[in-house]
Amino acid sequence: MQVCSRQQQADFLQQLKIEKRASEHTLKNYQRDLRHLVEYCTQHNIDTWGALTSADILKHVAERHRKRLSSKSLQRELSAIRSFYMFLMQQGRVENNPAQYVKAPKQARKLPKTLDVDQVSALLDAGASSAIEMRDVAMFELFYSSGLRLNELSSLNLADLDLADKQLTVISGKGGKSRLLPIGTKAIEVLQQWLKVRPQIEPADNAVFTSMQGKRIGNRSIQLRLRKWCLKKGIPESVHPHMLRHSFATHMLESSQDLRAVQELLGHENISTTQIYTHLDFQHLAEVYDQAHPRAKKSD
């Protein structure tokens, strides 16, 4: 690789820093990504940036992938290369961008962890012995009952609840979208218990769930309360609020097989996001199949 190309890298990074106001973290990543590309060029006797082709970029990505680089990291490397070539094109140094249409291998999507129905029952039917535990159980029940996100639950105000009609309104969900959700009978019961003792705390605002000092309870506090509740009840599973949302989605889908309805309840903009729960459902069906089908069982 020619010496002038090193100067072009330096000029590119300087432009990112000054004009694009890129962070030091981004600059270091891009500098490292371009260094890997230079190593590829050196190994394959490529002397100029203009000599690199789309086939070379594909080969480079494949070699990096074989070194167990994650899809996310490969996507960032490709982004760095594309940006660099856009800079070179603006400078009149090259005529095209060989990385423009190259895509990184897709990341294997991790399936969210869920609780089964018995585990949820063990978590929620344990009973509350104080005002703070009444609040906690009401929060956890509402997570599972309505499939709320953590921020949606902490943002709930009294005006958002309609216990007579067994429903609540998420005023501003993800993406700023509102939606109407049903509340289950069990959640109604524990909410009513909490709302009876809530005035004794003299809340400072209209939050449904407040601390014992009357302030709206924050996301981190909710996470810690759930962890403490699980430890107290002897539940070994590491449960977090989103696990209750995942469990809600999975159990709803298993029972109804209505993907569109679950999409609406979860507030997903794209049904592809909801489809991850069909994989969870299939895992459940596969386990049932392996246990029940006479030709699926292993012979002794």
Q: Which residues belong to the active site?
A: 149, 174, 242, 245, 268, 277
User: What residue type is 78 in one-letter code?
Assistant: L
User: What residue type is 103 in one-letter code?
Assistant: K
CB 284 within 8 A of CB 269: no
The pair phi, psi for residue 226, each rounded to 5°, is -65, -40
Strands 167-170, 179-182: parallel, antiparallel or unpaired by DSSP? Answer: antiparallel
Provide the terminal-to-terminal Cα distance of the chain, rounded to the nearest Å.
64
The pair phi, psi for residue 210, each rounded to 5°, is -125, 160
Place of tokens 């309870």: 217
Beta bridge partners of 181: 168
Kindly state the tokens that stand for 45.
């006797």
* Measured CA distances, 14 to 3, 7, 22, 29, 86 (Å): 17, 10, 10, 14, 14
Q: What is the DSSP string of 60-92?
A: HHHHHHHTT--HHHHHHHHHHHHHHHHHHHHTT
